[in-house]
Amino acid sequence: MKIVHREFVKEIIRLQQRDGQVHALKLAEALNLPPSTVTETLKKLAAAGLINHVPYRAITLTEKGEREAIKSLRRHRIVERFLTDVLGFQWYEAHREALPFEHGISDEVEERLFKVLEQPKTCPHGLPIPSRPEEAYPRATRLYDLEPGEAARIVNVGEVDEDMLKLIEKQGLRPGTQLKVVEKPPFKGPITVTVDDTKRSVWYQLAINISVDRLPA
């Protein structure tokens, strides 16, 4: 399977599970590609039996496309874990470094990496290493959905760019961190949380990309 096709099906399943429907323009925006390039690639994916696509209608993955998407996501997240746990990369560097790495290994190498890592459940960002489509992007409460006084533990950080991950790291908001919401202004203003008794101001765009589990009051 071509590298570009792998990246397309990975992005389609992400948008499909996040938004419900995927359209060509949204896909072009997410992949930072010209709409014409996306249109041509979608035709090739459809011809390969990976997607169902009628112009101007929503794009869906076929069963074959879902299998390839999950296979690609699984490999990507295993490689990310290898980069952080074995090679010492920072968690916010893992996505960038995994992209060229993952496309150059075989299924056997992937499985051996998984065993060497003692079969981890998640990538460094807290997202599951999936075997089935429903495991790819589990539904969770967003940090921004919490109200003042509520406490939570960070479960995962969405697939955002490296600069945003560095900012999240600077704020001390890695997966596993416990926090409490102190203030939440209207109109998508930054919310204030406490982490280890230290106040942090979290922008709206960050807060909607951080998933949490509520903790008992």
Q: Are 200 and 192 within 8 A, CB to CB? A: yes
Question: How confident is the model at residue 138, as a pLDDT?
Answer: 87
Please give the Cα distance from 106 to 118 (Å, whole number): 19
- Bridge partners (DSSP) listed for residue 199: 194
The CATH classification number of 141-215 equals 2.30.30.90
Question: How confident is the model at residue 130, as a pLDDT?
Answer: 96
Question: How confident is the model at residue 198, as a pLDDT?
Answer: 94
Please give the Cα distance from 188 to 54 (Å, whole number): 36
Closest CA to 126 of 158, 97, 98, 102: 158
Strands (E), the chain: 51-52, 60-61, 141-142, 151-157, 178-183, 191-195, 198-202, 210-215
Q: What is the pLDDT of residues 37-69, one digit of tens each?
A: 999 999 999 999 999 998 889 999 999 999 999
Q: Which residues contact 13 (CB under 8 A, 6 or more apart)?
A: 61, 66, 69, 70, 73, 133, 136, 137
Question: How confident is the model at residue 19, as a pLDDT?
Answer: 84
Q: Which residue carries 């295993």 as its tokens?
A: 78
| pLDDT band per the 50, 70, 90 thresholds, residue 175 | very high
Q: Is the pLDDT of residue 29 over 90?
A: yes
Average pLDDT estimate for 100-120: 95
Please give the Cα distance from 217 to 215 (Å, whole number): 6
| Mean of pLDDT over the chain | 94
Average pLDDT estimate for 115-134: 95
Question: How confident is the model at residue 159, as a pLDDT?
Answer: 80
Q: 24-31 and 3-19 helices cross at what angle (nearest 10)?
A: 120
Closest CA to 194 of 182, 206, 209: 182
- Burial environment of residue 169 by CB neighbours within 10 A (0 to 12, 13 to 18, 19 or more): middle
Average pLDDT estimate for 163-183: 94
Domain extent listing, the chain:
1-139, 141-215
* DSSP one-letter string for 3-60: HHHHHHHHHHHHHHHHHS-B-HHHHHHHHT--HHHHHHHHHHHHHTTSEE--TTS-BE
The CATH classification number of 1-139 equals 1.10.10.10
- Bridge partners (DSSP) listed for residue 38: none
Q: What is the pLDDT of residues 185-212, one digit of tens each?
A: 999 999 999 999 999 999 999 999 999 9
| pLDDT band per the 50, 70, 90 thresholds, residue 174 | very high
Q: Do domains 1-139 and 141-215 have the same CATH topology?
A: no
Q: Are strands 210-215 and 198-202 parallel, antiparallel or unpaired?
A: unpaired
Q: Are 92 and 162 within 8 A, CB to CB? A: yes
Predicted structure pTM score: 0.91
